[in-house]
Amino acid sequence: MDISALLQNHVYTAIVLGSLVEGETTVVLAGYAAHQGYAPWWAVTLLAAAINFCLDQGYYALGRWRGEWLLARVPKLQSGVARMTPLLHRHRAWVIFGVRFMYGLRTAGPVALGITRVPWRDFVVFNALGAIVWAAVFSTLGYVFGKAIATALGQVAHYEAQAVIAILVVGLAWFAHHRWRRRREEGLS
């Protein structure tokens, strides 16, 4: 089975599973898949927004439910919570909306927001808005990227499988590198 047939039949499953591993890369690839005609752009964008909204709600709930335990187990979280707390008092809505765009706070941010006891209602509303904008931005990048490749190279169907594999490998390598570096830094602390 070739990669295009696999994507065409399982694009939504790939978005769900990919979002569990690496959000931005998955959404960019979903936009690219929409450009290639495997699914409508609006559908991949809404699915990516919904999945990432739910993931952040889960991280937020974890912070509210097990926040003290997490702070004791993950010392780096303490500094993040300490840095976020003053911002929350002045710009709560913007912090909740923008935390998914902040490098290094994609997962820790919602946990920290739960630990600081941001009201559920505020988190749900601004997290939903942030998820929609975030998914639209990154899926559009993938769609436009696909359009640029198609325009520049003409018929890219011959290289589609290699392009998807290369993007996946680069995304996973980036994710693994940052995880390894984070663990190494934690080990040195």
**Are 69 and 177 within 8 A, CB to CB?**
no
**Are 97 and 124 within 8 A, CB to CB?**
no
pLDDT at residue 77, rounded to an integer: 77
Give the total residue count for the chain: 189
pLDDT at residue 149, rounded to an integer: 63
For the chain, 189 residues long, give each residue's pLDDT as a single digit of tens: 455 566 667 778 788 887 777 777 788 888 888 888 888 999 999 999 999 999 999 989 998 998 888 888 887 777 777 777 787 778 888 888 988 887 766 777 888 888 888 899 999 999 999 999 999 999 999 888 876 766 665 555 566 677 778 878 888 888 888 888 888 877 765
pLDDT at residue 124, rounded to an integer: 94
Number of domain units in the chain: 1
Nearest alpha carbon to residue 33 among 118, 166, 142, 114: 142
pLDDT at residue 188, rounded to an integer: 67
Nearest alpha carbon to residue 114 among 184, 154, 165, 65: 65
* Tokens encoding 137: 């931005």
Which residues span the domain enclosing 166? 3-188
Query: How many CA atoms within 13 Å lie on the side-chain side of 121?
Result: 0
